A and B are shown apart, each in its own frame.
Chain A
Amino acid sequence: MSVMSATASVGTQSAENKAAENKAAENKIPATAPLLSIRGLEKHFSLSGDVLEQLKFKGGRVVREQKFVHAINGVDLDIQRGEALCVVGESGCGKSTVARVVMGLLNPTAGEIHYDGERIDQLGAKALLPWRQRMQMIFQNPYASLNPRMTIQQTLEEPIRLHHPTWDYRQVKDKVSEVMTSVGIAPDWGARFGHEFSGGQRQRIAIARALAVDPEFIVADEPISALDVSIQAQVLNLLMDAQQAHNLTYLFITHDLAVVEHFGTRVAVMYLGRVCEVAPTATLFAEPLHPYTRALMSAIPRLEDERPQHLRLEGEVPTPIHLPSGCVFHGRCPHAERRCREEIPRLIATDNGAMVACHGIEEGRIPL
């Protein structure tokens, strides 16, 4: 993370100077520009149905009332070329939503997504097509991500034909057998349907489909959590081999910290739709800074522990419908103060190369 973009995001948050900061961040593009950069991303899902259902009778008059689930609330992330950025967090913290917004499966409520310097979040389907070839996605459930009525050959040919309309039959076929071989599926199994394969094989096929158009960036949304433990390692190794072979960049969504330690270059920890800490993997595992990250790390079961010292958090995750003011973590944080309840912390760079969004760390209140 460059110092410039880090310092740009220090300070209090108000609508105007946030916009000014965004401008500033854009103007000062660092020497190694990130492949993907997410700025102030928000995604809210309406809970209130259509207009007629939103009308409520209150205090003698009709008012329009809308409720939202605040899935992501101002996420800033940079993904550098060639790295594997892991996003971790408990269920419901918005990590999958980030992945889906980045891939254009959902439209962001606010914020910007820049891919290789160009803004892509407001592009239409046609304009997005060239970018689609460069970024692909691998899904969680290999039992649902292959069309049950298409053979593997058809499944893999489809993206190739779409993105290389000039290729002839022979070229497409060669490419399909090339990607199938690269994920360890024999090319002559192409005439079979998805349901004839095991879960691990299906996930390999899903990876082959993503690799078929030679992307440079892959979003993997919990790609191994639906697989048997014995198969998880195989698929993970396949992803790492593919990264080496094709110089891929990953945005890897997971809740499995062991996978993160094995796979990630950097880790972003999310809580209730915000990023609370971004750090290189080794740094994060060695010295977690944010109180939430510390609690998360202490929850990893370790073989050498006879009496594990879990940091127990009080209470539950607040509902994303009524977000807490200030720092979203303040209700459960042992170090929370008045400022934490009032002011939203921004990500700031620390000495060990991490970035953390915590007033306590910024002020030096919390011992490192």
Chain B
Amino acid sequence: MSSATSSPPSIRERLNDSWLWYSFKRDPVAQLSLLVFIFMVAAAFLAPWISPADPYDLAQIDIMASELPPFWVDGSEPDYLLGTDSQGRDMLSTILYGTRVSLIIGFGAVALQAALGVCFGLLAGYKGGKIDAFLMRLADIQLSFSTLMVAIIVGALFKAVFGGVTYNTYAVPLLVLIIGLAEWPQYARTVRASVLAERGKEYVDAARVMGLSSVRIMFRHILPNTLSPIFVISTVQVANAIISEAALSFLGLGMPETQPSLGSLIKSGFDYLQSGSWWITLVPGLVLVILVLVINLLGDWLRDVLNPRLYKG
């Protein structure tokens, strides 16, 4: 390190030298997945500007143009590239908006899961003893309820108490809350396991000897060293949350028909599947599969890269 010592590398140089970037450059699957993912996210969030129609605007819906097939099937109209659904909404626009809803719920729920899970996991792992036992038993209890069961009960109760109109208004935050609360133990357990490994290291003792507060040691010293597993489960959890939301919407307990997500689109087309209008279900279904697939592929790649056994020797 004799010649390089005089000028420490900048962040950009560090990134260029990093193992993450190195393995990304050599993994075509990861590159393609990231490309597709970025494309889908961009398309979804630019929906208000790039979509041909606004599916939320009832005035733009033409019931006479309902159940038109996509462009490669006979009887299609050039205005509706991917056809229309049973109410005459343009499928392309609805899918773009629906993907946006699915992504918002997926990322929102994972952000909530991560916030809860990281705090509880850090606390349980660092403090140990009774706090640890209490939080982990709480996690066990939480995990013994399936996400869907919790969501169905809470969603049904909310609908029954406040009525459908209120439910439709608060559907997105409610779904974020339900999926977020149901899955925090995944994070808490992973974080706790990493914290237990890090807590025994001498840099934590050094921080304690300095007199730093527990909160600072947990968040400033231990948390940055447990980020790799957090990143890896985050990708898996985003995919899971999107699927959970789709499943709930399919059951009629998720997003309402008026502001559909990918799941409620699949559901609304399901009734017409037998009558020949397969595209109303199949196209959003395909979008959902691709979205979840690329996220999972990225997660797989990230897990391999961040696994210290594979490169630290």
Task: Kindly report which residue of chain A lies nearest to residue B221, judged by CB atoms.
Answer: A147
A8–B99 Cα gap in the complex (Å)?
Answer: 81
CA separation between A158 and B203, bound complex, in Å? Answer: 13
CB distance from A156 to the nearest CB of B (A): 11
Q: Which residues of A contact B202 (CB under 8 A)?
A: 139-141, 144-145
CB proximity to B under 8 Å, residues A145-161: 145-150, 158-159
The residues of A that contact B8 with a CB separation of less than 8 Å are 188-192
- State in angstroms the CA–CA spacing of A159 and B212 once bound together: 8
Report if A270 contacts B (CB, 8 A): no
Query: What chain B residues lie within 8 Å of A159 (beta carbons)?
Result: 210-211
| A98: interface (CB < 8 Å) | no
- Cα–Cα distance between A147 and B208 once the two chains are bound (Å): 13
Q: Is A132 an interface residue (CB 8 A)?
A: yes
A147 CA / B212 CA spacing, docked (Å) = 14
The residue of chain B having its C-beta at the shortest distance from the C-beta of A209 within the complex is: B206
A147-B205 in contact (CB<8A) = no
Confirm or deny: B26 has a beta carbon within 8 angstroms of a beta carbon on chain A. Answer: no
Shortest distance between the CB of B220 and any CB in chain A (Å): 8
CB pair B225–A147 under 8 Å, yes or no, is yes
The verdict on A303 contacting chain B, using a C-beta distance below 8 Å, is no
Closest Cβ neighbor of A139 among chain B residues: B202
- Which one of B5, B201, B203, B209 lies within 8 Å of A103 (CB-CB)? B209
Q: Please report the C-alpha to C-alpha distance between residue A149 and residue B6 in the assembled complex, in whole angstroms.
A: 21
Interface assignment of A231: CB less than 8 Å from any CB of chain B = no
A3 at the interface (CB under 8 A from B): no
Q: Main SS of chain B's interface residues? A: helix
Q: Smallest distance from the beta carbon of B122 to chain A beta carbons, Å?
A: 15
Question: Which chain B residues numbered 204 to 243 have a C-beta less than 8 Å away from chain A?
Answer: 205-214, 221, 224-225
| Interface bits B64-102 vs A (CB < 8 Å: 1, else 0) | 000000000000000000000000000000000000000
A139 pairs with B205, CB closer than 8 A: yes
A137 x B206 contact (CB < 8 A): yes
Nearest-Cβ distance from residue A95 to partner chain B, whole angstroms: 16
Q: A100 — which chain B residues lie within 8 A by C-beta?
A: 205
Cβ of A105 under 8 Å from chain B = yes
Are A158 and B224 in contact (CB-based, < 8 A)? Answer: no
Given A139-B202, A144-B203, verify A158-B6 contact (CB < 8 Å): no
Which residues of A, 91-130, contact B by the 8 Å Cβ criterion?
100, 103-105, 125, 128-129
- Give chain B nearest CB distance to A112 CB in angstroms: 20
Residue of A nearest to B6 (CB): A188
| B224 to A, closest residue via Cβ | A149
Judged by a CB distance under 8 angstroms, whether A36 is at the interface is: no
Chain A neighbourhood of B6, CB < 8 A: 188
**Does A206 count as interface, using CB distance less than 8 angstroms?**
yes
- B211 pairs with A129, CB closer than 8 A: yes
Contact A133 B211 (CB under 8 A): yes
A124 CB to nearest B CB, Å: 11
Contacts A144-B202, A149-B225, A191-B8 given; indicate if A137 touches B211 (C-beta within 8 A): no
Question: With A and B bound together, what is the CA distance between A147 and B210 in angstroms?
Answer: 13
Of chain B, the residue at the smallest CB distance from A152 is B8
Chain A, residue nearest B200 (CB): A144
Interface residues of B in 1-51 (CB under 8 A from A): 1, 5-6, 8
Asked if B133 is at the interface of the complex by the 8 Å CB criterion, the answer is yes
In contact, B211 and A163 (Cβ under 8 angstroms) = yes
Min Cβ gap B104→A in Å is 31
Given contacts A144-B203, A186-B5, A196-B1, contact A132 B209 (CB under 8 A): yes
Name the one of B203, B210, B224, B225 contacting A132, with C-beta atoms under 8 angstroms.
Answer: B210
Determine the chain A residues whose CB is within 8 A of the CB of B5 once the complex forms: 186, 189
Give the residue name and chain of the B residue nearest to A135 (CB).
B209
Determine if A145 and B1 form an interchain contact, defined as CB atoms under 8 angstroms apart: no
> Which residue of chain B has its CB nearest to the CB of A153?
B8
Which B residues touch A132, using CB under 8 A?
209-211
Nearest A residue (CB) for B206: A145
What 8 A-B pairs are tightest by C-beta distance, nearest first? A132-B211, A191-B8, A145-B202, A149-B224, A139-B202, A144-B202, A147-B203, A137-B209
List 23 A-B pairs, Cβ < 8 Å.
A105-B208, A125-B213, A136-B209, A136-B210, A139-B202, A141-B202, A144-B203, A145-B201, A145-B202, A147-B225, A148-B203, A149-B224, A158-B212, A159-B210, A162-B210, A186-B5, A188-B8, A189-B5, A189-B8, A191-B8, A196-B1, A206-B206, A213-B210
